[in-house]
A and B are shown apart, each in its own frame.
Chain A
């Protein structure tokens, strides 16, 4: 027995094994700038492939396009997409669950970066600031979109799962406050330059552009105006005069776009939206959208594609045109572009009574689209024109249409005539059923589900 115990004691260290080769311990990740960049690479690549900004059918461009009045369902057996089109979502819907889950998983990743960076002993102040700024922007950006989809949601600022598993929903007002707070701090820290001129990472102008959008949604017209004008005048970006150039990779209008998964591949949007056979097997642009274009609007030609055969003609969003692999990537998914800022300036100005300024910015956009400038309109008419312009300019991009209808309170009026199954309570998506089952603090479920 003595020999046995001797052997055992001397072999205790036998159980100490090397760390795994495919994982890195947290401490190591946050001591080096390159690994933190890789952490951001994860967040942005998920934005591109699986979370709400994605251009494939898991993303809100497609889903909310179906949900509102931008797309018509054309598949035969895709019950998920059909339930969006019919506004008859069940809390068990997988796409809804995916939007929620991917959102919060990336919020965790951002929070982890924030905590890791703040405690890191070996980063430079400049790097620290940049990372903190970028992580705060990401956190605010995800929460903003989640709250616009789901209504009241929890705002997560820590990685401590013991808190996060019992968290409850917060009022929209508090969420907005938190978003603005994060963005203000982000703007200070994030810095002007970023890696290369290809706009793959958010910088100070992107934060401003986003802030202007947030203020606009909140109704804080002056702040929205200030931020948007700042971006328009000082960011160095300009409107592309030619519509066909707006969505190209080297467009000067882009503020932030997502890099593709490999050199030569293009956007998910093009791959999924371009119709190559008829009848189409996914979705087409809705009649109401096609009819909403004014006569002579060049966007209805440049940004709308058509496919015809003997059975008929079908239209699809064609802002992104390249659906095949090309020698080098030519199109990237754009999340923030300057035109939106122009329209924000226009809308904010109109709300503040500055009609001339409003019309000035509005007409720039109209002019680019080959439309006549508008003049001598009253405030209400200007507002209407701006909203119409947003529809024509921002269709099938990042759920702008649905969010516009929602924030202006026009959702019911417009959608109940368009969509036979639309109900008032459809304004919010249901909180995923599985989430409520695990965390009862998230009850009650959104109305109508």
Chain B
């Protein structure tokens, strides 16, 4: 009995032990087999061209063990012989490779053809993939920027982005680019700038220049945007709709331009050298009359006016000047060749966790004017990024510094003279090389170049960004930035500008010095929240923003020097007055947030909002709220779509609606103040009333609606986007024009008016051909914008009654209707609109012409054949604009004219295009001509198609991983224009300034 129970106990023990163990081993039992021995598997990942790929993510599918490929493509990972390795990387097709018992696995990854794939867009405070974005965002990357030999980054965007209109204002280096993102929202012409952000730091685009110093440049003076180096830019994103801009709150109404600089490589240390040299010339000259035609015109003009004896001051025709001379003034005054040189060197490298980039660039450009003008720009960039070992802490530091020296003539009057000087005007120089004043009968145009304009500016943008991710779903980050911008300008009007016989000596010379500085800092702490809840992925962020900007400038004018050699030194002036001494402070704070819900990658909802406060508004109206909702439905992921329409590889429908605001109204505008003027009386400085007081004005509000359909065909080889937008801007912040009887020209106030911008944007990306050796892809964009004033309370009684029309765009001209030349009188006739017998501006300037483009866009082609690549970009627009006649002097007066004027009226019964020549001595003819220059005849077709950029390059050697890489390229900018426009340049539409230049340059890129 005892023996039996012991045996039974042992059995129970063994049984229970066996059962217990079986649970442990059950996993293996259920799986079918025990885990085989794990070994270190190694290998190399390459692309289809044999180039090793660094940074590829490798995961063992069964154990989820991970590794990253090194800079030479090699990796090591622990896995079993039957395991499958999963390889993935941005821009490449993910790949599963079974180990199949091997110890070394060699893998080739194919580039992902889709543009969308995992392309990531910078949306400012967050990034979003092209595929999943709910907002309207455009992007241009360094690949396209570097192909253009330009100085201002905005030039790289022309013709590339739907909804973005960019216009170069003149051919002078340093001139502004006007940018309109989805049209003009504000009635005030200065309230339409977008918000610029460089590496997360707001970058002010308002000029520190003095308007009298930089009069050579049309528009608002030296723009700080000239102080950015396009070669250092990785990408430029433009945010257009409410979903993308609402998170910028009160400053996003006109769109947001995000500029991101290049970051360090995480790979082998690499040195890259880029060198470029080019030539430039004016893109177009006008066909003006020669001497015999001109003199005949003048004689006929005096005859028509009944003036028998030529006035003593009609030198070209009364015999004082030689009547056999001829000079092509356009060639003489701006026909030279400009030279362009760029040298850039950059050093980048790093390992998996740390990367750096240091780059320096020199850009130099000379002028087409007959004097040694030069624009020199030196810039440096240093970027450093680091990730901690556990991947939780990320740091990024970027700094860029640009120094820009621009030397231009003191005023642009030379250009207008080139078009109007009589062809037989005297020679510029005397035999001994001095300026020829021809016995004081003319004002030598080269003397205008005695006026100097020197501008030295420098800009520093620095940014520090850190991110700490303590938990998988929670992260903290902060963005801190500082920028500083300095400008020093000098403009002189020396007495050598005048004819020496007047005896105007240096005691009349004037020098203007302007120094401006602005500095701003920003701090934006944020918290991020990312949770993957199975079917729904939630991303949220919340942040605070604090910004302060201090700016100031001083402008001093010196008058009267003992010697013109001392003109740059204010201490040598006999009289110094202070024109301006101002300083401004601007403070801004906000709280903002975003919640993004993504269901299975098919249904996406994005909510953003911001509450802003700005010091620019009176105490009653300091804060306001903005928000937006954006949604997207990627219907190509739906089962039924994949079934029915298999060739549709991608389809997304998205919509957004929200509000944003505008505060571009300058500082302190609500205060009632007096300012110091520049004049003195009895030893006192004049004190004058600055403005009319209005403490109650508020934000301009902009509501944006956006709907888009995005489609991809044939595995995303053909992508089509169609986007409809409608923005309404109300409560307009305006400088309301006032009659002079109020003592001022304007008042700052809110106008009960609404401006609507709506339109269509179409984009097409197509990879036409893709074979081993040949690739051709095309990008096309087209925008059909419409701006309208849709509401304006009591427009007829307001001060805009004669400037704006409800239902018409803002950018209109109200001009006389033109009736051609009266065959009886030979004079131009404009239409008497109200039939009252007289021509008056108010009653008869009723013909409305819109100067907004009807449509615009670009076509970009990219062709690669083995080692050659060819890119060419066409930009086109259809629009009306002021032509060469709009500021023309009277035909027959002492100014040269274009050849078409030869079709003029000569006698009763003649039908001609131009009125009879008149020297200005016939008031009726003068009045008729004046009316002509204010009629629809001076607004003509300014449409054009322009070959904006051509880039041909040849890669001699590949470079990495070993050896020297070498690429040779030929690049051209603004090479060819097709247009019917009558004037020097359909883009500038301005005969008072230099037309845009065309450049052709040759360069090389070496990588070591």
A370 within 8 A of B: no
B499 in contact with A7 (CB, 8 Å): no
A76 within 8 A of B: yes
B560 within 8 A of A: yes
Q: Chain A residues with Cβ under 8 A from B544's Cβ?
A: 4, 7-8
A161 in contact with B842 (CB, 8 Å): no
A11 within 8 A of B: yes
Q: Which of B589, B690, B742, B920 contacts A161 (CB 8 A)?
A: B742
B930 in contact with A45 (CB, 8 Å): no
Q: Which residue of A lies closest to B507 (CB)?
A: A325
Q: Which of B126-134, B157-165, B674-682, B897-905 has 4 or more CB atoms under 8 Å from chain A?
A: B674-682
Q: Which of A12-20, A184-192, A354-362 has 4 or more CB atoms under 8 Å from chain B?
A: A12-20
A437 in contact with B842 (CB, 8 Å): yes
A156 in contact with B741 (CB, 8 Å): yes
B10 within 8 A of A: no
Q: Chain B residues with Cβ under 8 A from A44's Cβ?
A: 681
A161 in contact with B738 (CB, 8 Å): yes
Q: Chain B: how many interface residues by the 8 Å CB criterion? A: 81
A433 within 8 A of B: yes
> What's the A-B contact tally at a CB cutoff of 8 Å?
235
Q: Chain A residues with Cβ under 8 A from B552's Cβ?
A: 21
A15 in contact with B614 (CB, 8 Å): yes
Q: Which residue of A lies closest to B743 (CB)?
A: A108
B574-603 near A? 1/0 per residue, CB < 8 Å: 110100111111111101000000000000
A280-311 near B? 1/0 per residue, CB < 8 Å: 00000000000000000000000000000001
Kindly provide the distance from the CB of B926 to the nearest chain A CB, expressed in whole angstroms.
7
A379 within 8 A of B: no
Q: Which of A19, A22, A112, A195 has the most CB of B within 10 A?
A: A22
Q: Which residue of B lies closest to A437 (CB)?
A: B802
B801 in contact with A19 (CB, 8 Å): no
B688 in contact with A42 (CB, 8 Å): yes
B668 in contact with A23 (CB, 8 Å): yes
Kindly provide the distance from the CB of A275 to the nearest chain B CB, expressed in whole angstroms.
10
User: Given the interface contacts A88-B923, A159-B743, does A45 sit within 8 Å of B841 by beta carbon?
Assistant: no
Q: Chain B residues with Cβ under 8 A from A325's Cβ?
A: 507, 560, 574
Q: Chain A residues with Cβ under 8 A from B614's Cβ?
A: 15
A42 in contact with B677 (CB, 8 Å): yes
B440 in contact with A277 (CB, 8 Å): yes
Q: Which residue of A lies closest to B542 (CB)?
A: A4
Kindly provide the distance from the CB of A218 to the nearest chain B CB, expressed in whole angstroms.
24
B680 in contact with A45 (CB, 8 Å): yes
Kindly provide the distance from the CB of A74 to the nearest chain B CB, expressed in whole angstroms.
7
B732-775 near A? 1/0 per residue, CB < 8 Å: 00000111111111010000000000000000000000000000
Q: Which residue of A lies closest to B584 (CB)?
A: A20
Chain A interface size band reads 35 or more
Kindly provide the distance from the CB of A180 to the nearest chain B CB, expressed in whole angstroms.
21
User: Given the interface contacts A20-B673, A24-B673, does A41 sit within 8 Å of B581 by beta carbon?
Assistant: no
B546 within 8 A of A: yes
B715 within 8 A of A: no
A23-57 near B? 1/0 per residue, CB < 8 Å: 11110010000110111111011101100000000
A223 within 8 A of B: no
Kindly provide the distance from the CB of A6 to the nearest chain B CB, expressed in whole angstroms.
11
What is the CA–CA distance of A449 and B582 in the complex, to the nearest angstrom?
Answer: 43
Q: Which residue of A lies closest to B686 (CB)?
A: A42
B106-119 near A? 1/0 per residue, CB < 8 Å: 00000000000000
A20 in contact with B681 (CB, 8 Å): no
Q: Chain B residues with Cβ under 8 A from A48's Cβ?
A: 679, 681
Q: Which of A97-105, A338-346, A382-390, A397-405 has 4 or more CB atoms under 8 Å from chain B?
A: A97-105
Q: Which residue of A lies closest to B680 (CB)?
A: A261
Q: Chain A residues with Cβ under 8 A from B577's Cβ?
A: 261-262
B212 within 8 A of A: no
B741 in contact with A167 (CB, 8 Å): yes
B923 in contact with A17 (CB, 8 Å): no
What is the CA–CA distance of A165 and B801 in the complex, to the nearest angstrom?
Answer: 13
Q: Which of B313, B546, B581 has the most CB of A within 10 A?
A: B313
What is the CA–CA distance of A195 and B683 in the complex, to the nearest angstrom?
Answer: 12
A39 in contact with B687 (CB, 8 Å): yes
Q: Which residue of A lies closest to B690 (CB)?
A: A23
Q: Chain B residues with Cβ under 8 A from A367's Cβ?
A: none
A435 in contact with B675 (CB, 8 Å): no
A108 in contact with B742 (CB, 8 Å): yes
Q: Which residue of A lies closest to B749 (CB)?
A: A161
A440 within 8 A of B: yes
A165 in contact with B739 (CB, 8 Å): yes
B591 in contact with A8 (CB, 8 Å): yes
What is the CA–CA distance of A323 and B738 in the complex, to the nearest angstrom?
Answer: 38
B682 in contact with A259 (CB, 8 Å): yes
Q: Which of B673, B743, B745, B893 has the most CB of A within 10 A?
A: B743
Q: Chain B residues with Cβ under 8 A from A159's Cβ?
A: 743
Q: Which of A5, A88, A167 contacts B927 (CB 8 A)?
A: A88
B685 within 8 A of A: yes
What is the CA–CA distance of A56 and B687 in the complex, to the nearest angstrom?
Answer: 22
Q: Chain B residues with Cβ under 8 A from A371's Cβ?
A: none
A311-355 near B? 1/0 per residue, CB < 8 Å: 100000000000011000000000000000000000000000000
A119 within 8 A of B: no
B672 in contact with A438 (CB, 8 Å): no
What is the CA–CA distance of A44 and B372 in the complex, to the nearest angstrom?
Answer: 44
Kindly provide the distance from the CB of A224 to the nearest chain B CB, expressed in whole angstroms.
30
User: Given the interface contacts A20-B668, A161-B692, does A445 sit within 8 Å of B679 by beta carbon?
Assistant: no
Kindly provide the distance from the CB of A243 to the nearest chain B CB, expressed in whole angstroms.
26
Kindly provide the distance from the CB of A31 to the nearest chain B CB, expressed in whole angstroms.
12
Q: Which residue of A lies closest to B895 (CB)?
A: A77
A82 within 8 A of B: yes
Q: Chain A residues with Cβ under 8 A from B741's Cβ?
A: 104, 154, 156, 164-165, 167, 435, 439, 442
Q: Which residue of B lies closest to A265 (CB)?
A: B575
Q: Which residue of B lies closest to A440 (CB)?
A: B801
What is the CA–CA distance of A325 and B561 in the complex, to the nearest angstrom?
Answer: 11
A79 in contact with B688 (CB, 8 Å): no
What is the CA–CA distance of A26 and B546 in the complex, to the nearest angstrom?
Answer: 31
Q: Which of B502, B674, B799, B927 contacts A276 (CB 8 A)?
A: B502
A25 in contact with B672 (CB, 8 Å): yes
B613 within 8 A of A: yes
What is the CA–CA distance of A159 and B738 in the complex, to the nearest angstrom?
Answer: 13
Q: Which residue of B lies closest to A101 (CB)?
A: B740
B433 within 8 A of A: no
A74 in contact with B680 (CB, 8 Å): no
What is the CA–CA distance of A440 and B801 in the complex, to the nearest angstrom?
Answer: 9
User: Given the interface contacts A4-B544, A15-B613, does A23 sit within 8 Å of B679 by beta carbon?
Assistant: no
Kindly provide the distance from the CB of A258 to the nearest chain B CB, expressed in whole angstroms.
8
A264 within 8 A of B: yes
Q: Which of A12, A167, A259, A442 contacts B613 (CB 8 A)?
A: A12
A35 in contact with B546 (CB, 8 Å): no
What is the CA–CA distance of A107 and B739 in the complex, to the nearest angstrom?
Answer: 13
Known: A20-B667, A45-B677. 20 other contacts (CB 8 A): A7-B544, A15-B588, A26-B673, A38-B687, A41-B681, A46-B679, A48-B679, A88-B926, A91-B841, A108-B689, A108-B743, A112-B689, A165-B741, A201-B682, A276-B501, A276-B502, A277-B440, A311-B312, A437-B801, A438-B738
Q: List 15 A-B contacts (CB under 8 A).
A: A4-B542, A17-B587, A19-B673, A26-B689, A41-B680, A41-B682, A90-B927, A109-B688, A161-B747, A167-B741, A325-B560, A433-B841, A435-B739, A438-B799, A439-B741
- B→A interface (CB under 8 Å): 312-314, 440, 499, 501-503, 507, 542, 544, 546, 552, 559-560, 574-575, 577, 580-589, 591, 611, 613-615, 622, 667-668, 671-677, 679-682, 684-690, 692-693, 737-745, 747, 799, 801-803, 840-842, 889, 893-894, 920, 923, 926-927, 930
- A→B interface (CB under 8 Å): 1, 4-5, 7-8, 11-12, 14-26, 29, 34-35, 37-42, 44-46, 48-49, 74-77, 79, 82, 86, 88, 90-92, 100-101, 104-105, 107-109, 111-112, 154, 156, 159, 161, 164-165, 167, 195, 200-201, 258-259, 261-262, 264-265, 276-277, 279, 311, 324-325, 421, 432-433, 435-440, 442-443, 445, 449
